[in-house]
Amino acid sequence: MLSAVLPIRQVEKPWGKDILPAPFTAPQGKRIGEIWFEPPAAMPELLVKYIFSREALSVQVHPSDGQTLAKGLGRQGKEECWLIVAAEPGAKLGIGFNRSIDQEAMRAAALDGSIEQLLTWHSVRAGDFFYIPANTVHAIGAGVSLIEVQQNSDITYRLYDYGRPRELHLEEGMGVAHGEIYDLARWHQQIPSHGSHSLVDGPLFQLDQIEGAPPLEVATRYSGMLLVIPREGIVELGKEMIIPGGCALATSLADIRFRDDSICLIASPLFSST
């Protein structure tokens, strides 16, 4: 049996928090914006992280696999999804635009800062789930705590950063950004805090929330290695106990003992990074 609790990396961000929700703690004087679970060598395709925003994140965009392959960068596209676990009053996500805009208008708006007003800002609460396809311009607002599951790529093109002294990537970003309205009906769900629910079913990865043992229709889709991310309760992998705030790799669902009161996310890639 292969199983491993994934190491955690705390990532400082200018928009991060110095006080994190349990079970996480930030080092004194540090603003932690992201908690990464280091992708295991046996499953390098996916990255799971928590994001905690005290201030708004940059307006940004990611390329697709096809675009990075065409540039000779390998399979480095980035599609991602967000499950909101907590949101302060007024918390919002900016995803897509209020109306379709062309590249010239988008570039001008990024330069003068008006791109922030052109984005569609979606009010959020715990349980909101959004899938973010590659090429979608987006920004996470202040006061949001979420779990992100993404293709394991570090290619992010910042288009606007609220005056922070960080590098922007307008040329690269304009080459991949789509000035489109976000298809909320297709890409958004409200996920109840309990019960089993399918969140993503391809094409790049699958992600499910399960309560207790996975139902048969879920178990048949997870035939190989997977990641398990407890939300409530405890799951067991051999002699290891995985608690909320952790993430672990399992060879198969059969290796995991799900308690009846556990609520977990499970994820696996549907492509090979090699």
Confidence of residue 256 (pLDDT cuts 50, 70, 90): very high
pLDDT reported for residue 2: 54
What pairs with residue 267 in β-bridges? 207, 227
pLDDT band for 60, please (50, 70, 90 cuts).
Answer: very high
Residue 144 φ/ψ, nearest 5 degrees: -120, 135
Closest CA to 267 of 195, 184, 209, 186: 209
Quick: pLDDT tens for 140-169.
999 999 999 999 999 999 999 999 999 999
Whether 56-190 shares its CATH topology with 197-269 is answered yes
Asked if residue 80 has pLDDT above 70, the reply is yes
Position 273 confidence tier, pLDDT thresholds 50, 70, 90: low
Please report the pLDDT score of residue 271 as a whole number: 78
pLDDT tops 70 at residue 274: no
Q: What percent of the chain has pLDDT over 90?
A: 96
What pLDDT shows up at residue 114? 98
Q: For residue 248, what are its two tokens?
A: 């672990």
Give the amino acid at 271.
F
Local confidence band at 4 (pLDDT 50, 70, 90 cut-offs): confident
Average pLDDT over residues 21-30: 93
| DSSP tag of 254 | G
Element (H, E) at 172: helix 170-174
The structure tokens 């190491």 sit at 7
Boundaries of every domain in the chain: 56-190, 197-269
Distances in whole angstroms, Cα of residue 60 to Cα of each of 57, 113, 155, 162, 227: 9, 13, 10, 12, 27
CATH fold label, 197-269 = Jelly Rolls (2.60.120)
Annotated catalytic residue: which of 54, 107, 158, 231? 158
**pLDDT score recorded for residue 3:** 56
Average pLDDT score, the chain: 95
CA 39 to each of CA 8, 48, 105, 197, 209: distance values in angstroms, whole numbers, following the listed order: 10, 8, 38, 24, 20
**Residue 50's pLDDT is what?**
98
Instruction: Write down the pLDDT at residue 238.
Output: 87
87-116, pLDDT tens digit by residue?
Answer: 999 999 999 999 999 999 999 999 999 999
Q: Over the stretch 186-240, which tens digit does the pLDDT of each residue have? A: 999 999 999 999 999 999 999 999 999 999 999 999 999 999 999 999 999 988 9
Please say if 259 is a catalytic residue.
no
Strand 197-201 to 138-140 pairing = unpaired
Six-digit token string for 236: 């067991």
Architecture of domain 56-190: Sandwich (2.60)
